[in-house]
Amino acid sequence: MTILELALAVAESGYPVFPTADKIPVWSNQKLGLDVGSGGFKIATRDPEEVTRLFKHPRATEIAVPTGKVSNLLCVDADTYKPGGQRWVTQHRDLLRGARIHTTRSGGTHYLFAHPEGASFPDKADPAVDIKSDGGFICWPGTPGYQCLVDIAPTAPSPKLVALLSNKGPASNMPKSTTAAETENLEQQIISASSLYPSLRSLSLSLANFAVPYGDIQTYLRKLMDQSVAANPGHPRHRDWLVRRKAIPQLVASAVRKTSIDALSTPSKGTWESPHVEDDLPPPIITVDASNDADCDTPPIEWVLPGVLPKGSTCGLAGASSVGKTRWLTALAVTAATGDYPLLGFDISAEPTPVLWIANEERASDLLRRIRAFARAHGVEEWCKIRIAGKENGGVKIARTKYQNVQLVQSRLDEIADLVKDSGSFLLILDPYVSLATGVNENSAESVSVLRDAFNYLTQETDAIIVFAHHTPKRDTTKKPHWYSGMETAFRGSSDIYAQLDVGFTLAPWFPPADDEEASDRWQKEYRSSQLSRFIELVPVKMREGILPQPVVYEIASQQVGAGDSIGYCRLSSPEAALAALDTHAGNDLFLFTVGGALLDRLGPGVHSGASLIYDAIKDVPGVPAASMTSNGYIRVQRGVAKLFGELQTPVFVRRHEIFLQPNEGVWNLHIRKT
């Protein structure tokens, strides 16, 4: 879509717009014939004719929307790429819930609310946090580099947020110290397991603010956690307890940084203690009596895909580069959002679920085209919401290396968890695994354990299943392309990557069974020339719960989306269909190859529309049936011609070109493209 079309869409959605370039209005008052003080954001409009006139300016490259009363928008503009901005957002996350959220091209975040009637605000809430109200404007998604993360209508901010933002001058970043009574209350919340992470965080911030040494804070929090009832493996929050206790070093380090106290290098002068924490030996080993019904009372497994993908688990998909992992994930996303899993080869129907897809190597627009291709090819018209965060803003990182230590980016994990919970998703796709961390070595068990903790945190917080894509090791050229199919060693890097999985699959090129020597030899011989790599196989390699399903064969096919764009998608196939394709390419149906060659020679690469044009190019090929004509001189696609056109809907590969027919709203389109 053009910038004008996008601007018209924003205006139609209810927001006045005007054009800018580099955040500067492109129209001068003189050009518009306006008095001084009447231009800028004041020319914003929702009128389609006026929007069209304004955005025909040659420098109109951004869609700007004014804030304040004119649009009923209040924007908290946080520079979350800066430590101060991210710190402020983390500290006030509860107050920002319910916001419409946009990301900016610089890496910042816009939190949008309905503008409170009669309220006025200063320009800043913090040195790294601007407030956009009356007299301001922001760039809107549709502008390159801007993306909508949470697509909801702005709601009224809470009174606490209004009070916080109305406070004149920058707000203090320093966390408040807790009183003795508040400290005791936080300790009891941890011991009773009514609150773990929030209470741990509050205590660590308070102690860091008192300049308690880093090591002493860790010791205190660990002792406190060891007294928690959640330390018992039979407790419902035990998994959360494990994650939180292991993350105490990162939590304390974060608290120290936020309070700007160099406690990491401060030597301990004795041990700081709370009067409410016993200084004793490590807690005793706690066992569960398997013969005791009370101890063994476990809830039933909840599934996203019954028998295959349990909620609150981690699933890995390993495959070689370009094998079709993203296309398969697209199929998974749409089938999960519809509950129609038979389209994916699983003869099960289930409740649909919204999907959140974080794609660090794909643009959101590219994934949208893939989703539409799969949906159109399968006649899917309605599905739950699929939210996509693409690579436009540099990708989403949940861990990083700092001071030679691998650390979780807790604020980003909290943001992802909030997005999952706010959308009601139970499927979170992270693609690919290697892109989720900065400076992390996937061959290091220590690095991998941090990402495992991140996944555990997200599944515990959201009860969603995480599905991530991962690459295979480099292939020895003496091995066949499907060498890794069904093998746990398909997951490149540390063996801990595979060990952390609840569910694991490989996606590899399909090959005939090794015991069918004739078919295997023919397949290997024709594999490249006949483009047989389009047949792929999903093989389960690990299933912590349930029974391993049977392997599923797919074919990468093409579907027209938009004006002439043919997009690859993953469609269900079978070993029989793959072998039939081998027979075709081996010469049992040379007729279609002769027809394909004639189309390539006479029409050339591109998209060619019209049955008569297509038929004229092949009517002299021996074996092409005669066609009857209409009174207007067009051919009738019926009988033998209809059969031939139907056969040509399956791609034919001729001289490194893919050739196939595709009907679209009564028009036959011939696609010829180089492979």
Cα 355 to Cα 416: distance, rounded to the nearest angstrom: 12
Contact criterion met (CB below 8 Å) for 85 and 129 = yes
Q: Does the pLDDT of residue 274 top 70, yes or no?
A: no
Residue 405's pLDDT band (boundaries 50, 70, 90)? low
Whether residue 595 sits in one domain with residue 490: no
Are residues 494 and 381 part of one domain?
yes
- Across all residues in the chain, what is the average pLDDT? 83
Beta bridge partners of 111: 76, 101
Residue at a domain's end among 64, 81, 103 = 64
d(CA 416, CA 434): 18
- Is 33 inside a domain boundary? yes
Helix orientation angle between 238-246 and 248-258, rounded to the nearest 10 degrees: 50
Residues 322, 470 within the same domain = yes
Band the pLDDT of 647: cuts 50, 70, 90.
Answer: confident
Token pair belonging to 498: 């595979």
The count of domains in the chain is: 3
Query: What is the per-residue pLDDT across 56-108, written as a single tens digit (0 to 9) for each?
Result: 999 999 999 999 999 999 999 998 877 778 888 888 888 998 899 998 888 88
Residues 493 and 619 in one domain: no
539 confidence band (pLDDT: 50, 70, 90): very high
Query: Is residue 442 included in any domain, yes or no?
Result: yes
Tokens standing for 564?
């002439």
In a domain, 498, yes or no: yes
pLDDT of residue 335: 95
Query: Cα 374–377–379 angle (5° rounding)?
Result: 100
Tokens of 521: 């030899």
H or E element in which residue 286 lies: none
Buried b (16+ CB within 10 A) or exposed e, 482-519: bbbbeebebbbbbebbbebbbbbbbbbbbbbeeeeeeb
Residue 121 within a domain: no
CB-count burial class (<10 Å; 0-12, 13-18, 19+) for 280: exposed
Model confidence at 125, pLDDT cuts 50, 70, 90, reads confident
Q: In this structure, is residue 626 part of a structural domain?
A: yes
Same-domain status, 497 and 388: yes
Q: Which of 33-42, 142-151, 384-393 has the lowest mean pLDDT?
A: 33-42
Contact between 228 and 245 (Cβ < 8 Å):
no
Residues 492 and 366 placed together within one structural domain of the fold: yes
Residues 605-625, mean pLDDT to the nearest whole number: 88
Same domain, 324 and 441: yes
- In sequence order, the 6+-apart residues with CB closer than 8 A to the CB of 596 are 648, 652, 653, 654, 657, 659
Residue 26 DSSP one-character state: S
- Residues across the chain: 675
Tell me the per-residue pLDDT of 636-646, one tens digit each, with 9 for 90 and over: 888 888 888 88
User: Could you tell me if 342 and 470 lie in one domain?
Assistant: yes
Q: Per the domain annotation, does 556 fall within a domain?
A: no
User: Which parts of 193-279 fold into alpha helices (H)?
Assistant: 197-209, 214-226, 238-246, 248-258
Q: How far apart are CA 428 and CA 21, in angstroms?
A: 36
For the record, the structure tokens of 581 come out as: 């394709």
Q: Which of 28-37, 184-193, 498-507 has the lowest mean pLDDT?
A: 28-37
pLDDT confidence of residue 320: 93
The tokens 């009669």 sit on which residue?
118
What phi, psi does 173 have (nearest 5°)? Answer: -90, -10
| DSSP 8-state code for residue 435 | G
Residue 479 lies in a domain: yes
CA distances to 244, 316, 414, 631, 642 from 353, in Å: 28, 19, 21, 52, 40
Token pair, residue 312, equals 């609150």
Least confident of 363-377, 379-393, 588-602, 626-640: 588-602
pLDDT of residue 444: 82
Range of the domain at 337: 305-505
Last-in-domain residue among 64, 86, 115: 64
pTM higher than 0.85: no
**Local confidence band at 279 (pLDDT 50, 70, 90 cut-offs):** very low
Q: What angle do CA 265, 270, 271 make, to 5 degrees?
A: 90
Among 472, 505, 538, residue at a domain's last position: 505
245: which 2 tokens?
Answer: 């206790």
Query: Are 328 and 464 found together in one domain?
Result: yes
- Tens digit of each residue's pLDDT (9 = 90 or more) over 543-557: 988 778 899 999 998
Residue 588 confidence class, pLDDT cut points 50, 70, 90: very low
- Provide the CB-side half-sphere exposure for 612 (13 A, CA): 7
Whether 464 and 604 map to the same domain: the answer is no
Q: Do 351 and 497 fall into the same domain? A: yes
**What share of the chain has pLDDT > 70, as a percent?**
88
Which has more pLDDT, 614 or 581? 614
Two tokens at 544?
A: 């912590």
Assigned domain for 76 exists? no
1-15, 21-35, 387-401, 410-424: which has the highest mean pLDDT? 1-15
Taking only the tens place, the pLDDT of each residue in 474-516 is: 877 778 899 999 999 999 999 889 999 999 999 999 999 888 8
- ω before 432 within 30° of 0 (cis)? yes
Residue 530: phi and psi, rounded to 5, are -105, 10
Q: How far apart are the C-alpha atoms of 447 and 401, rounded to whole Å?
A: 9
Same domain as 594, residue 484: no
